[in-house]
């Protein structure tokens, strides 16, 4: 037995939030690491860390997260635990991650990406176009809200927070007529029984990095770096490099309605992007293609193109 690998006596500690989706992602990471290194599940320990964002008592459920200041809201305590050595790696939904990590930490391991699309969830209508005039739609995503209002200014969007199960319950209780969820989350939770219609990216371009799981580690931890290299997915990394460069060139936080999706074809990368005003009154979308290795440059070029078309003042509402 190799002595540098984790064992039941000295397990690798995997940090995660406690939501069902976060736990499913932590288990997937554990299972991939165990398979890649021929280890028993007992060689890993899943450590649940409560984050400011999870603390319901602190946050009124009807207040948009952006008002509370969502930078690091769901990651700060997890990153502190990693820097303190209480955990060795942290599993994240890449779409919730800022484009830069704190000093001493790196996010360079990506699992194979799931379905990137949003799903339309509505017990009464099959598509957005079928929604009756003035229907109430629940979402806490600024991007989905803006995209929806851009297409259907008649709709009323209400704040819809909480984990996946909570949101589905609200829908059942009639708090809203329809909602949106990432196909990836539904699939990872095995929620195939929930009536859902995947939305083509032409109709609703997904969030940057939607459907991708990333694993963060201490920069100095070469043992962990070696272990993670075995489960890293290159094509996911190439797509996210372009999407995250696009995001970084516009706004590193998630306080702006921004959407992007990179797809690969041979040695080419095709990137679509969109920026919107929060009220949906204005949207600018575009696309670029080029060699995969130039993904970050393509992302920055697309951002510059959209910004020039939006014109000065487009982001004034950001204050
Ligand atoms: N912001 C919450 C969040 N972060 C990641 C996912 C879904 C899984 C993914 O996109 O990887 C979700 C829920 C949702 O948008 O429905």
- Verify whether ligand 1 is closer than 6 Å to residue 280 (CB atom): no
Comparison of pLDDT for 176 and 252, the residue scoring more: 176
28-79 residue pLDDT tens = 999 999 999 999 999 999 999 988 777 654 455 555 555 444 556 778 899 9
CA 271-277-280 angle, 5° bins: 95
Q: What is the mean pLDDT of the chain?
A: 91
Q: Which domains does the chain have, with CATH numbers?
A: 12-112+212-232 (3.40.190.10), 118-198 (3.40.190.10), 241-309 (3.30.160.40)
Q: Which of 130-144, 231-245, 248-262 has the lowest mean pLDDT?
A: 248-262
Task: Report the nearest-CA residue for atom 5 of ligand 1.
Answer: 93
**pLDDT at position 22 over 50:** yes
- Verify whether ligand 1 is closer than 6 Å to residue 185 (CB atom): yes
What is the pLDDT, as a whole number, of residue 316?
77
Q: Residue 1 — very low, low, confident or very high, per pLDDT cuts 50/70/90?
A: very low
CA distances from 248 to 39, 265, 300 (A): 38, 24, 8
Task: Report the nearest-CA residue for atom 7 of ligand 1.
Answer: 185
Q: Which of 264, 241, 213 is nearest to 32 (CA)?
A: 213
271-316 residue pLDDT tens = 999 999 999 999 999 999 999 999 999 999 999 999 999 987 787 7
> Could you identify the residue written with the tokens 């196909």?
183
164-181 residue pLDDT tens = 788 889 999 999 999 999
Ligand 1 centroid–CA 311 distance in Å is 31
What is the pLDDT, as a whole number, of residue 57?
43
What is the pLDDT, as a whole number, of residue 164?
79
Q: Which residues contact 250 (CB under 8 A, 6 or more apart)?
A: 256, 258, 275, 303, 306, 307
- Cβ atoms of 311 and 297 within 8 Å: the answer is no
Q: Which atom of ligand 1 is nearest to the CA of 212?
A: 11
Q: What is the DSSP string of 71-128?
A: TTTTTHHHHHHHHHTS-SEEEEEGGGS-SSPPTTEEEEEEPPP----EEEE-SS-SSG
- Verify whether ligand 1 is closer than 6 Å to residue 96 (CB atom): yes
Q: What is the mean pLDDT of residues 109-137?
A: 96
pTM above the 0.90 mark?
yes
Q: Which of 6, 5, 268, 236 is nearest to 107 (CA)?
A: 236
What is the pLDDT, as a whole number, of residue 251?
76
Q: Residue 150 — very low, low, confident or very high, per pLDDT cuts 50/70/90?
A: very high
Ligand 1 centroid–CA 145 distance in Å is 15
Q: Which atom of ligand 1 is nearest to the CA of 210?
A: 10
Ligand 1 centroid–CA 95 distance in Å is 7
- Verify whether ligand 1 is closer than 6 Å to residue 182 (CB atom): yes
Q: CB atoms < 10 A from the CB of 151, how many? A: 16
Ligand 1 centroid–CA 308 distance in Å is 30
Q: What is the mean pLDDT of residues 178-192?
A: 95
Q: What is the DSSP string of 168-194?
A: HHHHHTTS-SEEEEEHHHHHHTT-TTS
Strand partners, 288: 271
> Could you identify the residue written with the tokens 């005003």?
277
Q: What is the mean pLDDT of residues 183-201?
A: 94
Task: Report the nearest-CA residue for atom 11 of ligand 1.
Answer: 211
Q: What percent of the chain has pLDDT over 70?
A: 92
Q: Which residues contact 79 (CB under 8 A, 6 or more apart)?
A: 72, 90, 101, 102, 105, 216
Please give the positions annotated as active site.
96
Q: Which residues contact 62 (CB under 8 A, 6 or more apart)?
A: 159, 161
Q: What is the mean pLDDT of residues 121-138?
A: 94
What is the pLDDT, as a whole number, of residue 311?
80
- Verify whether ligand 1 is closer than 6 Å to residue 214 (CB atom): no
Q: Which atom of ligand 1 is nearest to the CA of 140?
A: 1
Ligand 1 centroid–CA 263 distance in Å is 19
Q: Which atom of ligand 1 is nearest to the CA of 213?
A: 11
Ligand 1 centroid–CA 228 distance in Å is 23
CA distances from 157 to 173, 241, 318 (A): 16, 32, 20
């Amino acid at each position: 037995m190799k002595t540098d690998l984790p064992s039941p006596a000295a397990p690798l500690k995997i940090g995660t939030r406690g939501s069902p989706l976060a736990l499913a992602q932590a288990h997937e990471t554990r299972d991939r690491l165990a398979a890649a290194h021929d280890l028993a599940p007992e060689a890993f320990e899943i450590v649940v860390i409560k984050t400011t964002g999870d603390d319901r008592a602190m946050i009124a459920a009807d207040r948009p997260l952006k008002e509370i200041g969502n930078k690091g809201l769901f990651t700060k305590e997890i990153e502190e635990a990693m820097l303190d050595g209480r955990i060795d790696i942290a599993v994240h939904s890449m779409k919730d991650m800022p484009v830069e990590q704190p000093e001493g930490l790196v996010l360079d391991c990506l699992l194979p990406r799931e379905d990137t699309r949003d799903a339309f969830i509505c017990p009464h209508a099959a598509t957005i176009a079928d929604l009756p005039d003035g229907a109430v739609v629940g979402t806490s995503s600024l991007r989905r809200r803006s995209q929806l209002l851009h297409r259907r200014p008649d709709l009323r969007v209400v704040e819809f927070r909480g984990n996946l199960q909570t949101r589905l319950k609200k829908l059942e209780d009639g708090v809203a007529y329809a909602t949106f969820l990432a196909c990836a989350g539904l699939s990872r939770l095995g929620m195939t029984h929930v009536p859902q219609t995947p939305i083509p990216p032409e109709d609703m371009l997904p969030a940057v990095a939607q459907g991708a799981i990333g694993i963060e580690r201490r920069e100095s931890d070469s043992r962990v770096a070696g272990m993670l290299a075995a489960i890293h997915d290159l094509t996911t990394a190439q797509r996210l490099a372009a999407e995250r460069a696009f995001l970084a060139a516009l706004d590193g936080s998630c306080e702006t309605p921004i959407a992007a999706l990179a797809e690969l074809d041979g040695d080419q990368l095709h990137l679509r992007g969109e920026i919107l005003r929060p009220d949906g009154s204005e949207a600018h979308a575009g696309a670029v293609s080029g060699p995969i290795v130039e993904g970050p440059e393509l992302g920055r070029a697309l951002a510059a193109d959209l910004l020039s078309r939006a014109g000065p003042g487009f982001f004034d509402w950001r204050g």
